[in-house]
Amino acid sequence: MSKIERIETTVLDIPTIRGHVLSMTTMTAQSIVLVRIRFSDGSVGLGEGTSIGGMSYGPESPESIKVAIDAYIAPLLEGRDGNDVNGAVALVEKAVRGNPIARCAVEIALWDGLGKRLGVPVSQLFGGAVRRAMPVAWTLASGHSETDIAEAEKMLATRRHNIFKLKIGKRRVREDLAHVAAIADAVGDRASIRVDVNQAWSLTEARQGLAGLAAIGVDLAEQPIRTGSLAALRALTERTGVAIMADEQLNGPADALAVAAERAADVFAVKIGQSGGLKRASEVVAIGEAAGIGLYGGTMLEAGVSTAAALQLFATVAHLDWGTELFGPLLMTDEILAEPIIYRDFSVHLPEGPGIGVELDEDKVAFHRRDRARTLQAVV
């Protein structure tokens, strides 16, 4: 038996390559909580928890993720059998309410450690990979049509992305529609155009906006209205030609079942962090598949560790009709993995090797850790 000896957390702050404009904030850096679980046999499992825009997107922040793990989850798990992942998940869910991203970060490290000890990828622990590469979207979120068009042309020319998701909702509906139309006209039939409203529209604005998006030829609209009213989301789903994707509405399998029962969405954006871990995300996938709802591998703009973990799960999904948007590492100015995840031919590729298939570049981790300044000062 390999026991959990110690769970360590480190906050990293990594600048983004440009301002990432969402309806509720503009990101210029991403903060991640890196988790290491050290086991009694000497193996180490890696995990990561990441929120979006501090607390502007949801109730968890990098700081709260770290505190939840350090003060509540780590004391609960240290000394337990490291191979009993399901037991750990059940124990943590009973003792720690909410905090799905914190729980996910630790669970990733448990799966990674188990895979490494068994010498198999995490995908094998979920039944085996059915694909080695997945379509991957890129988010156009500079806030400027000309900049976004130039960025899209570059992605098409280098064959990195031919699916583009536009962040809208910060401006008036009419202005957003003009912005989307300009980009759709520029790329034509060479790419799929999708939008993410991040809950910014009222029901009336959503009706107006979705009609305009359908006329433009947009394929999909993500979470156009606030969570809480499945009846309103269902009404939009029933009455528009644009596929409606539930995102913030989904925080695990119970939410997925409620959305499926109401037929309130055409597509699930499945996020391992938002779901509370790989195990619960796999259950969201199963509910979507059983209900005939399309599946999309979503992101919390994670760095390489959580992105690799998500790829391990989504590689096992039989029907991933809407692809993924697991581009998080590409949004950051620096890479914390020793071997970066591969993006080419409009796809993201499953990392090879045991566990989640990645290792850290320890120099980059040391450089970006938030407490680096204090550490250097102490050394001096």
Q: How far apart are CA 280 and CA 284, in angstroms?
A: 6
Asked if residue 134 lies in contact with residue 323, where contact means CB atoms within 8 angstroms, the answer is yes
Q: Which of 66, 116, 167, 271 is catalytic?
A: 167
b/e map of 114-153 (b: 16 or more CB within 10 Å)? bbbbeeebbbebbeebebebbbbbbbbbbbebeebbebbe
Question: Phi and psi (nearest 5°) for 78?
Answer: -60, 130
Order the strands of the 163-167 sheet from edge to edge: 138-140, 163-167, 192-196, 220-222, 243-246, 267-270, 294-297
Q: How far apart are CA 355 and CA 311, in angstroms?
A: 12
325 is catalytic: yes
**Gyration radius from the chain CA atoms:** 20
94 is catalytic: no
Q: How far apart are CA 7 and CA 106, in angstroms?
A: 8
Q: Which of 48, 283, 302, 325 is catalytic?
A: 325
Known catalytic residues are 167, 325
